[in-house]
A and B are shown apart, each in its own frame.
Chain A
Amino acid sequence: MMGDNKDWSVVKRCLNGDRQAYALLVEKYNKPVFNIVYRLTGNIEESREITQETFLKAYKSLNQARPEFKFSNWLFKIATNICWDQLKKKKIVEIPLNNSTSFADNIMNYDISDNSLNPEEELIVKEQQEYIQKTIESLPFIYRRIIVLRYIQNLTYKEIADISKMPMGRVKVQLYRAHKILNDKLADIL
Chain B
Amino acid sequence: MKNNQKEVTAMNCRRVCQLLIEYIENDLPLEISAKIDDHLRECKSCSREFTRIQKTINLIRKLPSITPAPGITQEVMAKLEEEPTDKRFIDKFTFFSKRLVVAGVTLALIFCVLYGTMTLFVRRSSFSPFQTWVATVQAVPFDLKETGWWISRKLPADERLAYKDKYVGVVFGGILDHPTEVDFLVKWIRPDGEIFKETVWKGRVSTGLCSFMSDLAIDDYKLRDEKKEVTEAAFTGEIVSWKQEGRMIDFRGSWRLEIYINKKYQMAFQIEV
Residues of chain B contacted by A39 (CB below 8 angstroms):
63
Chain B residue nearest to A63 (CB atoms) is B94
Asked if A48 and B72 make an inter-chain contact with CB atoms under 8 angstroms apart, the answer reads yes
- Asked whether B125 is an interface residue with its Cβ less than 8 Å from the other chain, the reply is no
Residues of chain A contacted by B102 (CB below 8 angstroms):
none
State A93–B246 Cα separation when bound (angstroms). Answer: 11
Asked if B223 and A93 make an inter-chain contact with CB atoms under 8 angstroms apart, the answer reads yes
Residues of chain A contacted by B244 (CB below 8 angstroms):
92
Asked if A176 and B72 make an inter-chain contact with CB atoms under 8 angstroms apart, the answer reads no
State A44–B83 Cα separation when bound (angstroms). Answer: 26
Residue interface mask B108-148, A partner, CB < 8 A = 1: 00000000000000000000000000000000000000000
- Asked whether B67 is an interface residue with its Cβ less than 8 Å from the other chain, the reply is yes
- Asked whether B161 is an interface residue with its Cβ less than 8 Å from the other chain, the reply is no
Asked if B63 and A17 make an inter-chain contact with CB atoms under 8 angstroms apart, the answer reads no
Indicate whether A26 sits within 8 Å of B72 (C-beta atoms), given known contacts A88-B194, A172-B21.
yes
**Shortest beta-carbon distance, A129 to chain B, in Å?**
6
Chain A residue nearest to B62 (CB atoms) is A112
Asked if B66 and A38 make an inter-chain contact with CB atoms under 8 angstroms apart, the answer reads yes
Asked if A133 and B63 make an inter-chain contact with CB atoms under 8 angstroms apart, the answer reads yes
Residues of chain A contacted by B51 (CB below 8 angstroms):
190
Asked if A132 and B60 make an inter-chain contact with CB atoms under 8 angstroms apart, the answer reads yes
Which of A1-9, A27-35, A68-76, A98-106 faces chain B? A27-35
Residues of chain B contacted by A182 (CB below 8 angstroms):
56
Task: List chain B positions with a Cβ less than 8 A from chain A.
Answer: 18, 21-22, 27, 49, 51-53, 55-57, 59-69, 72-73, 75-77, 79-80, 83, 85, 87, 194, 221-223, 244-247, 250
Q: A52-B72, A176-B18, A182-B56 are in contact. List 8 more A-B contacts (CB 8 A).
A: A20-B77, A23-B76, A30-B73, A55-B72, A55-B76, A56-B76, A129-B64, A142-B250
Can you pick out 5 interface pairs between chain A and chain B where the beta carbons lie within 8 Å of each other?
A20-B77, A27-B73, A31-B68, A48-B68, A152-B61
